[in-house]
């Protein structure tokens, strides 16, 4: 095994152990020392990969979401109506959050206010792929108007996704954990998406200033 491979393997092990401890003990009650002991590595080894416990948490969060995003696109029915495709993608993400809602609340909050704001390649990838779904829907005749080649529509969809996620994690939609919760959240989102796609009947001239 090369040094690069060994380093990647150590990082993956640290992330796996950290997530397990965050779920079992809670983020606040888990220390870097706890993670190092359980992973069988020195504390210094953890700091080689992660500057702080918060960065370790955010890395767990990113890996969780990356897996959910990939699963969503891998299992997407490309023949389904746009509203069903978008709801499917969000169900995959909501299910990841609802698996351990208490930890998800902590991870989500931390992700909103990182110590060092930076670009988010996963979000950029997600929005680009969703923009493509909107363009495909236009080609199928499902929608007519699509400013900025779908980017604005993808951003509007993401805003709806976030609103439902916050409501779900806060308990506004009833269930807060498990697949049942994810389904309830997805149902709320689908209603919002149907309204977005149909529109409120405003004058189409409003779109002239959207680029």
DSSP calls for 97-149: HHHSHHHHHHHHHHHHS-SS----HHHHHHHHHHHHHHHHHHHHTS-S--GGG
pLDDT computed for residue 68 by the predictor: 97
| Among 44, 151, 25, CA closest to 14 | 44
Q: What is the CATH number of domain 52-202?
A: 1.10.357
Query: Where does the pLDDT of residue 118 fall: very low under 50, low under 70, confident under 90, or very high at 90 and above?
Result: confident
Q: What is the pLDDT of residues 131-165, one digit of tens each?
A: 999 999 999 999 988 988 999 999 999 999 999 99
CA distances from 31 to 11, 17, 37, 53, 65 (A): 17, 12, 10, 8, 23
**For residue 61, which of 90, 103, 10, 99 has the smallest C-alpha distance?**
103
The gap from C-alpha 52 to its chain's centroid, in whole angstroms, comes to: 22
> What residues does each domain of the chain span?
1-50, 52-202
Q: Which residue in 107, 104, 83 sits closest to 171, CA to CA?
A: 104
Q: Which of 26, 111, 119, 124 is nearest to 61 (CA)?
A: 111
- How high does pLDDT run on average in the chain? 92
> pLDDT, tens digit, for every residue of 52-110?
999 999 999 999 999 999 999 999 999 999 999 999 999 999 999 999 999 999 999 99
- pTM summary value: 0.90
**DSSP assignment letter at 77:** -
pLDDT of residue 210: 61
Give me the mean pLDDT over the 28-54 stretch: 94
- pLDDT above 80: residue 44: yes
- What confidence tier does 5 reach under pLDDT thresholds 50, 70, 90? confident
- CATH of the domain spanning 1-50: 1.10.10.60
User: Does residue 207 have a pLDDT over 70?
Assistant: no
Q: Quick one: CA dihedral 145, 146, 152, 155, positive or negative?
A: positive
């Amino acid at each position: 095994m090369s040094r690069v491979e060994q380093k990647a393997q150590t990082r993956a092990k640290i992330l796996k152990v950290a997530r397990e401890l965050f779920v079992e003990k809670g983020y606040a009650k888990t220390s870097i020392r706890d993670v190092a002991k359980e992973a069988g590595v020195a504390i210094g080894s953890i700091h080689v990969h992660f500057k702080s416990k918060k960065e370790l948490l955010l890395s767990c969060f990113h890996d969780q979401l990356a897996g959910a995003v990939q699963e969503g696109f891998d299992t997407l029915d490309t023949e389904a109506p746009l509203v069903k495709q978008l709801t499917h993608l969000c169900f995959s993400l909501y299910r990841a959050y609802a698996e351990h809602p208490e930890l998800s609340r902590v991870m989500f909050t931390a992700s909103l206010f990182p110590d060092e704001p930076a670009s988010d390649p996963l979000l950029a990838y997600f929005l680009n792929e969703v923009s493509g779904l909107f363009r495909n829907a236009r080609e199928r005749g499902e929608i007519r108007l699509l400013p900025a080649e779908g980017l604005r529509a993808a951003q509007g969809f993401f805003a709806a996704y976030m609103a439902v996620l916050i409501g779900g994690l806060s308990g506004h939609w009833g269930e807060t954990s498990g697949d049942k919760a994810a389904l309830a959240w997805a149902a709320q989102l689908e209603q919002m998406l149907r309204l977005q796609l149909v529109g409120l009947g405003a004058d189409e001239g409003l779109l002239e200033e959207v680029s």
